[in-house]
Homo-oligomer: A and B are copies of this chain.
């Protein structure tokens, strides 16, 4: 076991939990998946059997407190995150928590305080930071290749809206979807956002509006260093998953394009065309899900700081609340108003 590095437990055997579980077993030799937990017994058991895991449980406490488990990946529903973080911290386990940490800033603060007290490492699951294209953009900013950044633009659209049930519990577009882009904007620019202006509406499905949410949004960000940014969101882009960023600076600009299943270009009778982009986040960000766990394990094993700390995970939640208020009141909202 020692040869294989860290022993890991995963709480939550849903889509993202299973994804991490498979990556752990197949792609990440420096860690070993010791145990999986899920409230639904069959989900935990099936996953354990398929991946030949030593153990499974329906009680996250058993997992968190298991003496062999050194690090916990929290992939359960958002409302359970902070409780599990606090339990894992109390047990002295390193923590990887899916985004968002929570919708409530007070709960986040209590959980982060517990992490601090325990002195364990915590990383938040903003996997897009680990995408090769966005890392190239970030590198262009940090290396000065495009000079001082002035403007950032993020286009982020899903191929189609999730089920209405999901939307009702999601906390709203800004907290559920834009939150990735809030983190990306901070990552690319390397500075803090001070003010947010959000506008948008219901363009895809009136039922989303009836559920109290919007499905199409534009968010303006003002950074402390004078950079301005825009985020364009939509719950549906019929051409597929749209994930592009652009940073304009005093010395040039850099654009990251969508990703495709192949690079073949067809010269057809009516048009010159290529295939649609990679379908959705599981395909588009497949490698970044591996890379974020690799970074997590390496930080633990090499006793380096978290590549994406709990404090960094908190900020996009603040931005989401500010965006929501801005949208509701149609005025720029300073993050300081939120807390």
Contacts and interface: CB of A to CB of B under 8 A. Distances in A.
Interface of A: 3, 26-27, 29, 52, 132-133, 135-137, 140, 145-148, 150-151, 153, 155, 157, 197, 199-201, 203-204, 216, 218, 220, 222, 226, 228, 230, 232, 234, 236-240, 242, 248, 250-259, 261-277, 330-332
24 contacts: A3-B52, A27-B27, A136-B275, A140-B266, A145-B266, A150-B216, A150-B234, A153-B230, A157-B248, A197-B199, A199-B220, A199-B222, A199-B228, A203-B250, A218-B220, A242-B267, A254-B264, A254-B265, A255-B264, A257-B264, A259-B263, A271-B275, A272-B275, A331-B331
A150 to B, nearest CB: 5
Contact of A266 (B151, B242, B252): B252
Given A135-B262, A255-B267, A257-B263, 18 more contacts: A26-B26, A26-B29, A133-B264, A136-B264, A137-B264, A153-B230, A197-B199, A199-B222, A204-B250, A216-B228, A218-B220, A218-B228, A239-B253, A240-B267, A253-B266, A253-B267, A257-B264, A271-B274
Given A232-B153, A271-B276, A239 B264 contact: no
> How many identical subunits does the complex contain?
4
A230 B230 contact: yes
A55 to B, nearest CB: 18
Contacts of A272: 239, 273-277
A243 B241 CA distance: 25
Contacts of A203: 148, 150, 226, 250
Nearest to A269: B238
Nearest to A26: B26
A81 B148 CA distance: 40
Nearest to A249: B238
Contacts of A199: 197, 220, 222, 228, 332
Contacts of A52: 3
A250 B222 CA distance: 29
Given A228-B199, A239-B253, A261-B132, A151 B218 contact: yes
A256 B262 contact: yes
Contacts of A271: 271, 273-276
Contacts of A242: 253, 267
A135 B263 CA distance: 11
Contacts of A270: 276
Given A216-B151, A220-B199, A268 B248 contact: no
A250 B263 contact: no
Contacts of A200: 228
Contacts of A252: 238-239, 266-269
A184 to B, nearest CB: 14
Contacts of A136: 261-262, 264, 275
A232 B264 CA distance: 19
